[in-house]
Structure 1
Amino acid sequence: MAAARATMKDVARASGVSPATVSFVLNDTPDQTIAPATRERVRRAAAELGYLPHGVARALREGSSRIVVLKAARLPHGGTSLAGFIDGLDEELERLGFTLLVRYGERPGDSEQLATAIAPRAVLDLDSYYFGAAAEGADGGWVNGLAAHTAVQIGYLIERGHERIGMAVTANERIAHLAGLRRGYAERTAMNAGLPAVQSFVLPGTAEGDRAALAEFTARNPAITAVAGTDDESALRVLSAAQRLGIAVPRALAVIGFDDSAAGELFSPALTTVRIDTAAFGRRAARTVLGLDPGSELPGPASVIRRESA
């Protein structure tokens, strides 16, 4: 026998308020003075009990599921930041009684077919944060988004006394768009500090190609004393190429990564990098996409993991 569906009275009892207050909160009734803590308590109780207002309950009967879909087809896979975001998102959705389905690859029409097949409760389109028209602000921008995280990376080098900074990009089409955003943010950070724009170069992705690229870049830009990687992979390739060229790191060239991958601390010299609390972003996104109060937990700012390379 199926379990009885939670009622408004159940939510009221669990949250210690009246059914009328539950109705006001869940329907966002205007002109009602209800304390934020009470609103959060009601929403949490509703989520934990699986209570749904009539309109959503009707959608359930018509096929809506307890599945949330994350679209990340155009983002680089395997990185620490995306993995942390997914872990946080999955953890919070599971706590609230939902299941996460991550959609990596996508062909024309896939989204429509998926929606028809499983009728997800919600779809979180992470791709649109970075590939949409308002990419600079969609993810938090210069407050706590990619722009702010890039500013932490470049700002660290500036604080260490570096006035001429380069940026290394791997020749990977999947990250080309994000790398372009990061280059732009890095240039603006340097220019806002009164420094010359950051100069970028591409690493082909082979040991010999990377060595030649770094040799050409440093020959053309002898004043550059530090290189920031658009991710940890590009930074590690710079470290490897510098060793082959006999460039002393960090004395002659400081190198900093971005993403805090596990491989960074295993290299010699160990890679200085930027760590982002993406799991906290994922937990907030889970509640937001379900229409719940995201809660009081705020992701901390990006931090520099200081090691030997910079």
Structure 2
Amino acid sequence: MGRSGRVTLSDVAKASGVSRATVSFVLNDDPRQTISTATRERVMEAAQDLGYVPHGIARALREGSSRIVVLYVDRGMEGNFSRSYVRGLDEELAEHDHVLLVRHGYAAPETTQKILDAIVPRAVLRLGEVYMRGHEPDEQDWENGFAANAALQIGYLAERGHTRIAMALPDHDFPLTEARLGFAQEAARRLGLPPLERFVVPRPRAAGTAAVEAFRAAHSEVTALAAFDDDIALRSLTALKDLGLRVPEDMAVIGFDETEYGSLSSPALSTVHIDAEILGRLAARGALGIDLGGLAPVLGRIVVRASA
């Protein structure tokens, strides 16, 4: 076996008692070479016994594309949802002998094209693309898709008697911001609640505190904040504490897309946990044209803590 631990053509050649070139001809099924049936069977048996996997570059030349799938993750989507999605996508692709390349944040179009031209990927995916294109969620989305996860957040607050709710948003225009806000507004409408108020909680700390103070002065009827993500929720908790307000007595706060930091805050942050691993696996199978095999998205869950 090769020094890297990967089975090579030389390993197969040694095990089957033929030359490396003969192994290559057999495994590539080269029609220009006349090789006896017995030799072919011996080579194939050795390759199977050793667990030989053909080199990806060689297969790329034969297939016209590499066995690489590219995923673009936009800024503002680096939470648990993204991590679990990438894990599922990566594992499913690996099971079908493909490799995942993840690109984070903004990339200039010319740079992107150079990368794509160099690796000739099997597929190019963008996390959350369907929603960032202004996709209107169907009932399946409201049952266990991204819309349903957004609705969990609003529904939890409504179950606790909050009727005037605000969305606390980031100070950058992330691609999913409007989609998330739209899902939350529709969830409020379905629950018979008034339209959600919205405001931005910026950095640094002093600016965030000033924004929360101004919002509270203009909207004293609001009793709960549904944050865009856990980062915005933690900014809101800090601002409320700086203003001498009690959470959740004076204002309830719930995050979204759980991170480890929420459990360390005071009070500990209630949030929505989303496991997107199955979504990643579904995306992988879709990109490769493989049957979905009965896989379906799984609804997230509320992590109940002290802030809401």
Counterpart amino acid of residue 99 in structure 1:
V
Tell me the distance in 2 between the aligned counterparts of 1:198 and 1:49.
58
Tell me the distance in 2 between the aligned counterparts of 1:127 and 1:162.
29
1:282 shift after superposition: 0.7
Structure 1 pair 90–219 and aligned structure 2 pair: CA distance change class (3 A): same
Tell me whether 1:153 sits opposite 2:153 in the alignment: yes
Equivalent residue, structure 2, for 1:198: 196
User: 3-state SS of the aligned residue for 1:136?
Assistant: coil
Equivalent residue, structure 1, for 2:132: 131
Tell me the distance in 2 between the aligned counterparts of 1:270 and 1:294.
38
Counterpart amino acid of residue 302 in structure 1:
G
Structure 1 pair 58–81 and aligned structure 2 pair: CA distance change class (3 A): closer
Contact 2:145 2:298 in 1 (8 A): no
Contact 2:60 2:67 in 1 (8 A): no
Structure 1 pair 59–97 and aligned structure 2 pair: CA distance change class (3 A): closer
Contact 1:136 1:147 in 2 (8 A): no
Tell me the distance in 2 between the aligned counterparts of 1:50 and 1:291.
21
Tell me whether 1:68 sits opposite 2:91 in the alignment: no
Counterpart amino acid of residue 201 in structure 2:
L
1:151-177 Cα distance to aligned partner (Å, 9 max, x none)? 11101100111111011112123x2x3
Counterpart amino acid of residue 92 in structure 2:
E
1:47-71 Cα distance to aligned partner (Å, 9 max, x none)? x9989xxxxx997515421111112
1:1-51 Cα distance to aligned partner (Å, 9 max, x none)? 447259xxxxxxxxxxxxxxxxxxxxxxxxxxxxxxxxxxxxxxxxx9989
User: 3-state SS of the aligned residue for 1:201?
Assistant: strand
1:81-137 Cα distance to aligned partner (Å, 9 max, x none)? 1111111111111122111011234212344333321111222233532332x4333
1:75 shift after superposition: 4.0
Equivalent residue, structure 2, for 1:4: 27
Equivalent residue, structure 2, for 1:280: 278
Tell me the distance in 1 between the aligned counterparts of 2:107 and 2:128.
11
Structure 1 pair 112–204 and aligned structure 2 pair: CA distance change class (3 A): closer
Equivalent residue, structure 1, for 2:257: 259
Tell me whether 1:179 sits opposite 2:202 in the alignment: no
Between structure 1 and structure 2, the one with the greater Rg is 2
Equivalent residue, structure 2, for 1:36: none
User: 3-state SS of the aligned residue for 1:249?
Assistant: coil
Equivalent residue, structure 1, for 2:5: none
Identity %: 44
Counterpart amino acid of residue 231 in structure 1:
D
1:298 shift after superposition: 2.2
Structure 1 pair 4–137 and aligned structure 2 pair: CA distance change class (3 A): farther
Equivalent residue, structure 1, for 2:84: 84
Tell me the distance in 2 between the aligned counterparts of 1:293 and 1:62.
21
1:138-163 Cα distance to aligned partner (Å, 9 max, x none)? 9x643433322111110110011111
Counterpart amino acid of residue 300 in structure 1:
V
Tell me the distance in 1 between the aligned counterparts of 2:115 and 2:153.
39
Counterpart amino acid of residue 294 in structure 2:
S
Equivalent residue, structure 2, for 1:243: 241
1:158-209 Cα distance to aligned partner (Å, 9 max, x none)? 0111111011112123x2x322222222122112222111101111212111
Equivalent residue, structure 1, for 2:142: 142
Equivalent residue, structure 1, for 2:117: 116
Structure 1 runs of 4+ aligned residues shifted over 4 Å read 48-51, 57-60
Counterpart amino acid of residue 132 in structure 2:
F
Counterpart amino acid of residue 273 in structure 1:
T
Tell me whether 1:164 sits opposite 2:187 in the alignment: no
Tell me the distance in 2 between the aligned counterparts of 1:287 and 1:62.
18
Tell me the distance in 1 between the aligned counterparts of 2:95 and 2:28.
18
Aligned length: 260
1:210-245 Cα distance to aligned partner (Å, 9 max, x none)? 111111111211111110001101111111111111
User: 3-state SS of the aligned residue for 2:179?
Assistant: helix
Counterpart amino acid of residue 78 in structure 1:
E
Tell me the distance in 1 between the aligned counterparts of 2:172 and 2:277.
25
Tell me the distance in 1 between the aligned counterparts of 2:254 and 2:98.
38
Equivalent residue, structure 1, for 2:107: 106
Tell me the distance in 2 between the aligned counterparts of 1:278 and 1:221.
35
Structure 1 pair 227–77 and aligned structure 2 pair: CA distance change class (3 A): closer
